[in-house]
Amino acid sequence: MALAGCLGTGGGDGSGGGDGTTIRYLSDRGDSKEVMDQIVSEFEEQSDYTVEMIYTAKGTSSDQEMQKMVAAGNPPDVIFDTSTDAYRLQRDEVLAPVTGAVEDNDLPDPVSVDDESYFAAAMVEPLMGWYRSDVYDEDPETWENWLSEAERVTGEGEMNGYVVQSGQTNNADTQMTQYLWQNDVEIYRGPSDDIEVTVDEGSDREAAVETFEWVKRMAEFSPNGSGWEWGDAIGALQQENAAAIVSVGGLPILTIQGNRPDLVETLEPMPFPVPSGKSQDQWWAYMEGHLVRNDGQATEGAQEFVSFFNESDRFFDFVLSAPLFQFPPTRAQLDSEAVESNETIQQFPEVMELVREHWDVFTSVLATGDDGAPNIVAADAYGNQAFGQAADQLLVGGKSPEETVDWLGGKLREFQR
C-alpha cells in the first residue's frame, strides 16, 4: 500500500530534458504500475503526447523526488499528490489550473483559488476505526462508553483496549484533529486570506481542554503510541496487542487479511468515538489526485492528461486496486456498478454502509476556513503534524490538557503569514 507519499517502488531518476510532447508524471503509486501503463497507453492512442512515468523510490516521498527534479532543472509536469500539498504548491505559484478536469468530471474542488481549480481528485480515503467484535459486544460509540469498555478490556490483561497515537506522524495528527472535531472545536476561523487560530479561545478552548482530558484518560488503556504511523497501529491489532484502532478506510483489512484471515473475520468498522450528545458532522477524508506544475515542458499536455484520467476506461481499475482503503471521488462513482460488484467490497458491506451514510460530511482538512474556504494554515499545520506533536506534549511531555491547548494555539500561529 502507498499512502500520502509514504511508499513507492522505484522508477525514473528525474534526469533528462523535456521536448514539449513528453509529459513527465511523478507518482508514489508504483504498486499501481500495471493499470497506470494501461491508462497511459489509452491516452497516448488518442493524443499527440506521450507520458513518461517516474515512480518514487521506496522511502522517498513525492515531494522529495519533485524537489530533486526541480533542482536538476527538469520539474515534473504532473504529480500524484494530496490536496494539502497541492494548496501549498499553489501558494508558491508553481501550479497550472486543472479547472477543466474538475468541472468536466464533477469532482470535489478543495483547492479553488480565484475561480480556478488546482487539484483534480482521483480518490477519497476517509479515516475509519476498527474494533474486535469478539472482544467488544458492539461499538461503544461515545467517549464515556469507550473509557469504561477500554478499561474493562485492558483490565482483563490480554490486550490493550484501544490505541492512542501521538508524535510527529500523519496518523497521530489526523487522530488528534478528528477528536477535536468530534467535540465541535472550531480550530480556525476566517476567510482564506485571513485565517485566525481559535482553538485556544473562549468556548473552543474549553472544548479542546475537555478533548485532551479524554485523550489522556484513553491513553491509560493504550500501548505507548508515540511516533506510531499507520502500520504500527495495524501491527498492534494484528499481533493482538490492542482490540481497537483508528486508521484509514479498510487499510487494516488489506494489510492483515493475507496473514490473519481469522482475525479479519472479527473486525468491524466504526466512526471515531464521539462525546455523548454529539454527532458525526465533520469527518476527515484524505484526497489524492493530480496537480500540474506550470514550469514543466508539457503543461498543456499535462492538463489534457489530467482531464482524461477520470474518464479513462481503466479509472475504476486504478481506484479499486486497493478497495475499502480508497474510494472514487464522486458519489455517482461510489454508487457505480464497478464499485458495487468488486469482490472485496462485497465481503465487507458494513464499510460501504458507513461510507455512504457519512459521505456528505467527509471533508478535507483544507476546508476549515469560513464556509469551507481553503485554509493554508491548516495545510501547513498538517505538513508539520502540529496536532500529533500536541498529543506528545500531553502524553510524553507531561503538559496538562490546559497547557497542551495553549501550546497548540501558539504552534498553529507560527504558520500564519
Mean pLDDT, rounded, for 48-60: 90
pLDDT confidence of residue 19: 65
Is residue 17's pLDDT more than 60? no
pLDDT confidence of residue 5: 39
Is residue 123's pLDDT more than 90? yes
Residue of 61 and 3 predicted with greater confidence: 61
Is residue 6's pLDDT more than 60? no
H or E segment to which residue 117 belongs: strand 116-117
Mean pLDDT, rounded, for 329-335: 96
Helices and strands in the chain, H and E counts = 19, 15
Mean pLDDT of the chain: 93
Q: Calculate the CA 13 to chain-centre distance.
A: 27
pLDDT digits (tens, 9 = 90+) for 340-350: 999 999 999 99
pLDDT confidence of residue 78: 98
Is residue 50's pLDDT more than 50? yes
Is residue 61's pLDDT more than 90? no
- Residue 49 Cα distances to 15, 198, 212, 258, angstroms: 19, 48, 53, 40
Share of the chain above pLDDT 70, in %: 95
196 strand-pairing partners: 189
pLDDT confidence of residue 46: 95
pLDDT confidence of residue 13: 39
pLDDT bin (cut points 50, 70, 90) of residue 417 is: confident
Mean pLDDT, rounded, for 282-300: 96
Is residue 264's pLDDT more than 60? yes
pLDDT digits (tens, 9 = 90+) for 370-390: 999 999 999 999 999 999 999
Burial 53-84 (b: 16+ CB within 10 A, else e): bbbbbeebbbbebbeebbeeebbbbbbbbbbb
Nearest to 274 by CA among 129, 140, 126, 143: 143
Q: What are phi and psi of 391, to 5 degrees?
A: -65, -35
pLDDT digits (tens, 9 = 90+) for 64-73: 899 999 999 9
pLDDT digits (tens, 9 = 90+) for 79-98: 999 999 999 999 999 999 99
Is residue 7's pLDDT more than 80? no
Nearest to 123 by CA among 299, 253, 2: 2
